[in-house]
Amino acid sequence: MNRSAFIAFIFDAGLPFPEGLTGARHALRRQHGLDDLLNTPGLLVLGDRGASQTRFADGRGMVWGHLFERASGNRTTELDPTTSGSAPDAMTSRYWGGYVLLRRRADAVEVMRDPSGMMACYHAAIDSAHILTSRPDLLIQLGLVRPSIDWTIVAQGLVYRDIRPVRTALHGISEVPPGCLLKIGAGSIDLCCIWSPWTFATQAEDNRDFDRAAASLGTVATQTLRAWGSAFQRPLIEISGGLDSAIVAAGLAGDKTEGRCLTFGPVPGDPDERPWARAIATHLGYDLAELELDTGVVDLTRSDAADLPRPCARLFSQALDRPIRVLAEETGADGFIGGAGGDSVFCLLQSALPLIDRAQIEGIGPGVLRTAIDVAQISQSNAWRVLAAALRCRLRPVGSFPRPMTNCFISSEARQNLPWPQGNPWLEAASDAPPGSRRHVWSIIGILNHLEGYGRETKAPHISPLMSQPILEACLSVPSWLWCTGGRNRAVAREAFRDRLPAIVVDRRTKGAFNGLVTRLIDQHRALVREMLLGGTLARHSLLNKDAIAAALAGPLPTRDALSQLMALVDFEAWASGWSSR
């Protein structure tokens, strides 16, 4: 979400603050300007006093980040004592936001990360203490962790794309997954899931009315987005011209903020999104800043995730980040809000899975044929081919875990005997979840790897409000086939905001992309990319298929999936070489 820092020290409640960590505590105050925010037996929290935070009335805990009441959508500034001592799931039933909860409860300290994943929470065990922080780079700057790359996790990141294990790619640093509670007691530590997407995905069959689902989503999304709008005075709202960011802009419209929209002109080869962005801004009454992508500032050797323990940044985003930061300085922006994750949250599936779900729940009937026609329209196929594809899918065993995305440039050595990423309790599907709902959940999980690592975060928080808990719950509770009603992807979301957006946006069927930008970057720096991938750290650890990479760089660049796979290797190499050189 942002670079504002909290760091929590958890230690034996019967002992004073560990002497070996006293130097780090003083450095956090003197060099980083952090203050003691909470000091209770066994738990000391330091942080930026001006950052968003909420205290427990009894002084035994706090919430770091933005917290809203579920019933009203109002921001919460103080938690009453009953909440302080209540079970962890009481937080997710009464509140939502982008936060980490830290409190002493009974004889243990509890650290809970909300389901959105928008607030980072990393963990390191140092001697007899545990440290939790939103800024893992502080652990290294303070000398508490000596950075060393975990090449197994790097290989998993390449092979299993966007599936984050609890361990990070730096030894000694792990992560509290979203929706999970880390409980630290005397000589014990336990991680458990207190909010699961499968709770809602398995209820989808009870919500089969399209109009009711759209109305419910519209109400929930509007309240959620307006709540986020109330947290900022001068946000910059990034609109691409597509549906997802348009919904975010519509939900924020009318709030008492000085928000303005921004969009980008294209590089040659990419579609021009500005006509749709202009229509959105005009319809909603926003000022619109039209920026130009600055490819000249992109440094392929430096990752914006250089201080993070995972290679989660995309290098091409530097071309967007730098102009956005300039605009933020000119306007005094205090937040960046966008539609990231919308395709996943709004269940954009281009497969026959919704058809299988409907047949599984309703049985073979007219509804199944209607869904086959809907899917055929979305995939530009015909109903008979969709039915045949559904039959083939149905004959295959339904997996409990997602199938990894492929990358044709990864070596066979990297894949061999590589363990499955461990620790995320959301990955294993509920046994009664239908195949389309499984794909929906797994797609949302993939977004969690793209909520940090943006250069603009040095200026202000970056918010992805479509990942908010109420919106996730509303969308996961919708059957997969409703999302393709009428042959339109994300149909429920379109209908929910139809009366608040221009028709050319609601009914738009094309999507923007950055393939032209990526092609230009690789083509302009082809010699550098060749050197990075054929002679860099990933190659030295036998993770890459160098022959395939050399062939791809020798002639016309690959397109579509292979292009993004090649660029992903450059993203990883920039991150890995940065840490290897420290």
Structure confidence by residue, pLDDT tens digits, 142-185 = 999 999 999 999 999 999 988 999 999 999 999 999 999 999 99
d(CA 130, CA 122): 10
How far apart (Å, rounded) are the C-alpha atoms in residues 297 and 518?
14
CA-closest candidate to residue 328, choices 242, 245, 233, 253: 233
Confidence category of residue 528, pLDDT binned at 50, 70, 90? very high
Whether the predicted pLDDT of 2 surpasses 60: no
- Pairing verdict, β 95-105 and 61-69: antiparallel
Q: Residue 568 pLDDT more than 90?
A: yes
| Whole-number Å distance between alpha carbons of 494 and 507 | 8
Q: What pLDDT shows up at residue 256?
A: 57
Residue type for position 482: L
Q: What is the mean pLDDT of residues 17-34?
A: 94
Mean pLDDT of the chain: 92
Q: What is the pLDDT of residues 34-80, one digit of tens each?
A: 999 999 999 999 999 989 999 988 888 999 999 999 999 999 877 87
In 10 A of CB 523, how many CB atoms? Answer: 12
**Which pTM does this prediction carry?**
0.95
Structure confidence at residue 257 (pLDDT): 67
pLDDT band of 391, cuts 50, 70, 90: confident
pLDDT of residue 399: 81
pLDDT score, position 252? 94
Give the integer Cα–Cα distance in Å for 330 and 545. Answer: 45
What is the C-alpha separation between 471 and 453, in angstroms, rounded? 23
| Residue 424, helix vs strand vs coil | coil
Domain ranges of the chain: 6-194, 515-580
Confidence of residue 255 (pLDDT cuts 50, 70, 90): low
Model pLDDT for residues 344-365, shown as the tens digit of each residue: 999 999 889 999 999 999 998 8
Q: Is 446 helix (H, G, I), strand (E, B) or coil?
A: helix
Distance CA 227, CA 225 (A): 5
Which pLDDT score, from 0 to 100, does residue 317 have?
95
Would you say 27 and 50 are in contact if contact means Cβ atoms under 8 Å apart? no
Q: Which of 203-212, 360-369, 488-497 has the highest mean pLDDT?
A: 488-497
| Residue 395 pLDDT grade (very low, low, confident, very high; cuts 50, 70, 90) | low
Six token digits for residue 249: 């802009």
Instruction: Give residue 268's pLDDT band: very low, low, confident or very high (50, 70, 90).
Output: confident
User: Does the pLDDT of residue 409 top 60, yes or no?
Assistant: yes
pLDDT digits (tens, 9 = 90+) for 432-476: 999 999 999 999 999 999 999 999 998 999 999 999 999 999 999
Show Cβ contacts of residue 447 under 8 Å, excluding neighbours closer than 6 positions.
162, 340, 341, 344, 345, 464, 467
The number of angstroms, rounded, from the C-alpha of 388 to the middle of its chain's C-alpha atoms is: 34
d(CA 224, CA 470): 7
pLDDT at 291 over 70: yes
The answer to whether the beta carbons of residues 53 and 62 sit under 8 Å apart is yes
pLDDT value at residue 305: 95
Q: Return the closest-CA partner of residue 478 out of 220, 206, 115.
A: 206
359-382 pLDDT, tens per residue?
A: 999 998 899 899 989 998 998 888
Domain boundaries 6-194, CATH class: alpha beta
Which H or E element spans position 100?
Answer: strand 95-105
pLDDT score of 385 more than 90: no
